[in-house]
Each structure stands twice: as structure tokens, then as C-alpha cells.
């Protein structure tokens, strides 16, 4: 019995070590447990003997069992003391990992905020942080199904492999992202994973740039009014950059501005078509707002006019990391004008989403982070990250003043206004693509991207190097996107066996040249290259290739590069060859891990094809 009590107190001592935050409270609790256990062991031993009639009443004599219990308890206390004193002199205990999922555009700001919160917990815990934030990102199109299924696998989706661990909390940019998850839950009659949604900040859509006139009285104007006036100017070519509405909540809110007339009504199809064309022609990288502004930042130029969130504009103006191709701070263009900030503008409401699957210990950490973000202590850090105070009218999932009343109508008008695309896809089939199933994933990505193809869109397929006996890189000629043509593209690509070198420069020039040789009419014409390396085919060289790509881009042909495997858009010296090629081609270089190639390709092609 005495030994049992001793072991119980040993457990109590270690519980004190693990459950309590303050080091000296832990030591006190452990020593008290030892003392109480020692007394209790002696008390139980004495009365056990008394009841059994073995020992008469009177002073208790020492027993071996009591001695064993005492030794056990004192050893436990000694262990606890040594462990705590060791911690005091050296490493901190293991912090709780807090898994934070966010939007790609929000990664820099979220990392800054989680870092500050970890420091807050450390200051309250003798310099040892209580949480270790792990921040990772994926777009809503990628995560919405996984979240609705509680992070379970589906036919073509493996969230643990493709995205990361199941999150403890989600920080999307807009309630529009949360609604998308809720819609999947309702349609599939699934148990909701959403426990609580709290707006922690706002970031309005702003109009900024060198061509934007000053607005002395912002309360008497609306963004649709100002944008309509900007696009109607006849003294210069209209320009307005904005993110892709299908890929970015900020892009959808921006589209709800430029697709409305001065009076606030949605414009007709013809006007929508003209405005969508201006936006596409003004935007070198149209995926998300970080990519849009990063393209200007890397060139050291200010945009003539751009619709973006105040968060991202402030980071751009301060030369801070934006994400995407601007993971590190870059000098901002000089003499940037102040953005036009209107109270009536739509805004990102930055929800803090908690899940029903979160365990108790993780839940306490999540709620601690949420409460800190909502406190005055976090105001300065939110402001530094480019985030304003939450708006009371933007806290509801269904009736939310920060977003359009019917965003689906805006998105439908945008989709109808998009021009059809003519895209030539060139897939690297060099020997290195056979490694780690890269080519198999590429085939899967092509199949997924073709799902965005409409009957008015056109696509062709090349692979490089040309296989023995094949005189050109062409596998399937450019043709309209019928079901039969789609099958021909995927079936033909499956027959390719990776081998040989990487004649990247020759392929790019030949492909863009073939697109330029055919009249494009009103089509978007672009070449998309998927590669896992740089040129090794002895082509014309980087400088000559960049010059020719720039001339072809001036003729209306864009170049996009998806870099996977060992390929990088940037290197240690800065902009790498792949980035330089894409930049000269007025496109974008997109870095994608092999497992992320299908989603990256699908997102890009959604922007290049009309889907009609």
C-alpha cells in the first residue's frame, strides 16, 4: 500500500512538471506531493497494522514498506528538481506546435503575428515560448474540399501530402472563403468542421497608382465611380491591374468594383468584356494580389493604377515581403502616392476560423492566440502587418457588410467577359523528369488543367526534347477544346518516356514563334512551360533568348513557366533564368513542389482560358 501511494505521488509530481507553466510552482507542487505522500504512506501503514492487530496503539515503528515508499517519493522529488534546474540552466521545454493554415497572400503578415504571439507567451513563461507556430498556405480552391471532409482523402486529393497537416486554425482572407467550405458541407450533408468564426481585422480594397487622381473628400465618392472615370479617360491608354477573381478573394472584390458603373450597377456584357481586357493587359501576373504587386516591385516601378487590399499595398509601399516571388523585402519605388481609401469600399474581413476537431490542449492555445489578436496588446502588431480594426458589421458568416451582396453574379459576369484562350503547353520530358514520379504528376496536372478548357478555348501540346524519329517538339497541334481533343492531349502525353537533355531555350522560342505566326484575333495567346531544370540543350543562351522573348511578348504572346523539382524561379544571386524568361514574356514564373503541380497548373489555366 505504501509503495502504491509513493508511485501515485510520483505520477503527481510529473503531472505538476508538465501541466503547470511556472517553473517554481512546479517545484513547489512536486515537493508538496512528496511530503503529503510520505505522510499518507506512514499513516496508511500504521493503521493497516493496527487493524490487523499486529501493532498495538502507540508510537509507530519504522517499517520496510514505509522506508520503500519514502525512498520512492524522495527520488521522484529529486528527479523533478533536477529536471527543472536543468531546464533553468539550459533548453526550454518542448513548445506546443500551433498549426496555422492561411491564404498564400497572407503568409508574411500571419507569420509576423504568430511570431509576436510566441514572444508574448515566452515573456510570461521565463523566456520559454508556450507555442511553436507552423504557418503554411493554400488557396481556397485547394483547401475548401479538404476542410469540408475534415482533412480526409478523396479520389484525387490527399491533403496531408499535398497541403500539410490538419490545421488547428485557419486564417483565410475573407468570409467568402469560409462560405465556400460551408457550401460543400451543406451540399454533401456533411458534419460541419466549423466551430467558431471571428473577424480579427479588416483591409479595404483601395485604388492606388501614379495615374490615380487625388480625392480630397473620400466620403462623397465610391470606388466604382472613380474606376469608371479612370477607365473612360481618353488622354492616355487606360490601365488597371487587379488579381484574378477566380483565384483570389481580393480579386473578386476588385472585380465587383471595376465591373460596376459609376452608379453602382453591374455593367453590361460588352463593357465588362472591354474592362476585363484592360485588366488582363495591365497585369503581368494575375493570380493573386501579392503576385500583381510583386511584378512591379521587382522591376522597381510603380503601377499606373491597381485595385488591391490596403494590407498588401502598405507592404508594397514599405518594401516589405509580399509572398510569392517577393519572399524577402525589396526597395519600394520612390514617391508612391497615397492610396484612395473609401469607407464604402469592399474589404477583406480576415476571419479567424476554429474547428470542431481541435483537441483540448490545442484549443486552449488557439483561443489564447485569438484573444490576444482581439486585445489592445495586438493592435500595434496588426497595424504593422497592414491590418485595421475589425468592423462590427463584418462579423457574420451570412450577412456581412464587407463583401458584395451577391458575389456569384459578379463572378458569372467576369467569366462571361473573359476572352477565349489559345495556349501551347510544353512539358519537359528530359531524363530528370523520370525521377520521383515527376512526369506522372505532370500528366495528372495536364488532365486537371484541361478541365478548365471551354469549347471556344484552344490548346496544343509539345514535349522536349523531341523523341528520336520525331522532327519537332509538337505532339498535338493547337485546336479547339472538344472532348475528343482533350483525350488526344492526355493520351498522347502518357506515351512519352522521359529521356535526354533539356533544350529549354529552343523550345520557348519555337513555341512562342508558332503562336505569333497565327492571327490571334481577340484571343489570349500564351505558352506554358513545365520544367524541372534549366537549359542544357546548347541553345542561343539566356541573354539572346530573353531579348527574343521580349519581342514576341510585344506581339501579344505571353510566357508562363512552372518550375518543379530542382528548378527554381530565383537563385542565390536573385532572379534566375526561369524568372527572367517569364518576366520578359509578361507572364509569371511559378514554383511548385511536384505534388502541387496539378493545382498550380489548374489555377494558371483557369486564368488563361475562358471556360466557355
DSSP state at residue 442: H
Q: Are 394 and 349 in contact (CB under 8 A)?
A: yes
For residues 342 and 354, state if they share a domain: no
Of 89, 110, 141, which one is at a domain's C-terminal end? 89
Helices (H), 90-196: 107-123, 140-148, 159-162, 175-187
Residue 397 lies in a domain: no
For residues 226 and 77, state if they share a domain: no
Nearest one of 496, 498, 562 to 529, comparing CA atoms: 562
For residues 80 and 114, state if they share a domain: no
- Give the pLDDT score at 603: 84
**Nearest-angstrom CA–CA distance, 584 and 577:** 11
Q: Which residues of the chain have pLDDT under 50?
A: 2-3, 10, 13-14, 16-17, 21, 27, 36, 41, 43-44, 46-47, 50-51, 54-55, 60-62, 82, 86, 88
Residue 151 lies in a domain: yes
**Nearest-angstrom CA–CA distance, 199 and 397:** 10
Q: Does the predicted model carry a pTM greater than 0.85?
A: no
- Give the pLDDT score at 11: 54
* β-bridge mates for residue 388, sequence order: 202
For residues 303 and 215, state if they share a domain: yes
Of 324, 347, 370, which one is at a domain's C-terminal end? 347
E runs forming strands in 179-261: 194-199, 203-208
**Nearest-angstrom CA–CA distance, 396 and 402:** 10
- Give the pLDDT score at 77: 54
For residues 71 and 215, state if they share a domain: no
CA 608 centroid distance within chain: 21
**Nearest-angstrom CA–CA distance, 437 and 444:** 11
Of 89, 111, 138, which one is at a domain's C-terminal end? 89
**Nearest-angstrom CA–CA distance, 373 and 114:** 10
Residue 133 lies in a domain: yes
For residues 464 and 343, state if they share a domain: no
Residue 196 lies in a domain: yes
- Give the domain extent around 498: 419-608
Residue 317 lies in a domain: yes
Give the tens place of pLDDT for each residue, 564-593.
999 999 876 678 999 999 999 999 999 988
CATH of the domain at 488: 3.40.50.410
- Give the pLDDT score at 44: 47
For residues 228 and 368, state if they share a domain: no
Number of independent structural domains in the chain:
4
For residues 159 and 283, state if they share a domain: no
| H/E element, 292 | helix 289-299
- Give the pLDDT score at 547: 97
For residues 154 and 246, state if they share a domain: no
Amino acid at each position: 500500500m505504501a509503495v502504491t501511494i509513493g508511485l501515485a505521488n510520483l505520477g503527481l509530481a510529473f503531472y505538476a512538471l508538465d501541466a503547470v507553466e511556472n517553473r517554481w510552482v512546479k517545484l513547489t507542487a512536486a515537493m508538496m506531493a512528496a511530503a503529503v505522500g510520505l505522510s499518507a504512506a506512514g499513516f496508511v501503514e500504521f493503521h493497516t497494522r493496527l487493524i490487523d492487530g499486529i501493532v498495538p496503539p502507540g508510537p509507530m515503528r519504522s517499517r520496510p514498506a514505509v522506508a520503500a515508499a519514502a525512498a520512492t517519493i524522495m527520488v521522484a522529488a529529486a528527479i523533478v528538481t533536477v529536471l527543472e534546474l536543468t531546464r533553468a540552466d539550459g533548453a526550454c521545454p518542448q513548445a506546443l506546435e500551433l498549426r496555422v493554415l492561411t491564404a498564400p497572400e497572407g503568409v508574411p503578415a500571419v507569420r509576423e503575428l504568430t511570431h509576436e504571439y510566441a514572444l508574448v507567451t515566452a515573456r510570461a513563461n521565463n523566456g520559454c515560448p508556450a507555442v511553436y507556430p507552423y504557418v503554411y498556405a493554400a488557396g481556397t480552391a485547394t483547401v475548401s474540399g479538404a476542410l469540408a471532409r475534415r482533412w480526409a482523402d478523396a479520389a484525387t486529393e490527399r491533403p496531408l501530402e499535398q497541403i500539410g497537416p490538419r490545421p488547428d486554425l485557419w486564417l483565410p482572407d475573407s468570409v467568402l472563403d469560409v462560405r465556400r467550405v460551408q457550401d460543400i458541407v451543406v451540399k454533401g450533408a456533411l458534419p460541419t468542421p466549423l466551430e467558431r468564426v471571428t473577424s480579427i481585422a479588416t483591409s479595404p480594397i483601395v485604388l492606388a497608382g501614379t495615374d490615380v487622381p487625388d480625392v480630397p473628400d473620400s466620403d462623397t465618392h465610391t470606388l466604382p465611380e472613380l474606376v469608371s472615370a479612370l477607365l473612360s479617360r481618353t488622354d492616355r491608354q487606360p490601365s488597371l491591374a487587379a488579381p484574378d477573381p477566380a483565384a483570389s478573394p481580393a480579386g473578386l472584390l476588385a472585380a465587383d468594383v471595376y465591373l460596376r458603373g459609376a452608379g453602382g450597377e453591374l455593367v453590361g456584357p460588352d463593357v465588362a468584356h472591354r474592362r476585363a481586357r484592360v485588366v488582363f493587359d495591365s497585369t503581368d501576373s494575375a493570380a493573386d494580389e501579392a503576385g500583381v504587386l510583386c511584378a512591379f516591385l521587382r522591376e522597381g516601378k510603380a503601377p499606373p493604377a491597381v485595385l488591391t487590399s490596403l494590407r498588401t499595398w502598405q507592404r508594397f509601399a514599405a518594401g516589405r515581403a509580399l509572398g510569392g516571388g517577393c519572399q524577402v523585402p525589396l526597395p519600394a519605388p520612390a514617391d508612391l502616392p497615397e492610396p484612395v481609401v473609401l469607407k464604402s469600399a469592399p474589404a477583406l474581413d480576415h476571419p479567424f476560423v476554429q474547428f470542431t476537431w481541435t483537441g483540448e490542449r490545442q484549443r486552449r492555445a488557439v483561443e489564447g492566440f485569438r484573444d490576444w489578436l482581439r486585445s489592445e496588446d495586438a493592435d500595434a502588431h496588426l497595424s504593422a502587418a497592414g491590418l485595421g480594426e475589425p468592423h462590427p458589421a463584418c462579423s457574420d458568416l451570412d450577412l456581412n457588410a464587407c463583401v458584395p451582396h451577391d458575389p456569384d453574379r459578379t463572378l458569372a459576369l467576369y467569366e462571361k467577359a473573359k476572352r477565349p484562350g489559345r495556349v501551347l503547353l510544353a512539358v519537359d520530358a528530359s531524363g530528370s523528369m523520370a525521377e520521383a514520379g515527376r512526369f506522372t504528376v505532370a500528366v495528372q496536372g495536364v488532365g486537371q488543367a484541361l478541365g478548365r478548357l471551354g469549347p471556344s478555348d484552344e490548346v496544343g501540346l509539345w514535349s522536349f526534347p523531341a523523341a528520336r524519329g520525331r522532327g519537332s517538339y509538337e505532339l498535338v497541334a493547337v485546336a479547339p477544346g472538344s472532348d475528343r481533343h482533350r483525350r488526344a492531349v492526355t493520351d498522347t502525353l502518357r506515351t512519352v518516356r522521359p529521356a535526354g537533355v533539356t533544350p529549354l531555350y529552343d523550345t520557348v522560342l519555337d513555341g512562342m514563334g508558332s503562336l505569333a505566326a497565327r492571327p490571334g484575333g481577340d484571343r489570349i495567346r500564351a505558352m506554358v512551360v513545365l520544367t524541372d531544370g534549366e537549359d542544357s540543350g546548347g541553345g542561343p543562351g539566356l541573354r539572346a533568348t530573353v531579348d527574343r522573348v521580349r519581342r514576341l511578348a510585344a506581339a501579344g504572346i505571353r510566357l508562363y513557366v512552372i518550375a518543379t523539382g530542382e528548378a527554381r524561379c530565383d537563385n542565390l544571386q536573385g532572379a534566375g533564368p526561369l524568372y527572367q524568361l517569364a518576366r520578359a514574356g509578361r507572364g509569371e514564373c511559378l514554383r511548385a513542389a511536384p505534388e502541387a503541380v496539378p493545382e498550380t497548373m489548374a489555377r494558371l489555366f483557369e486564368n488563361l482560358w475562358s471556360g466557355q
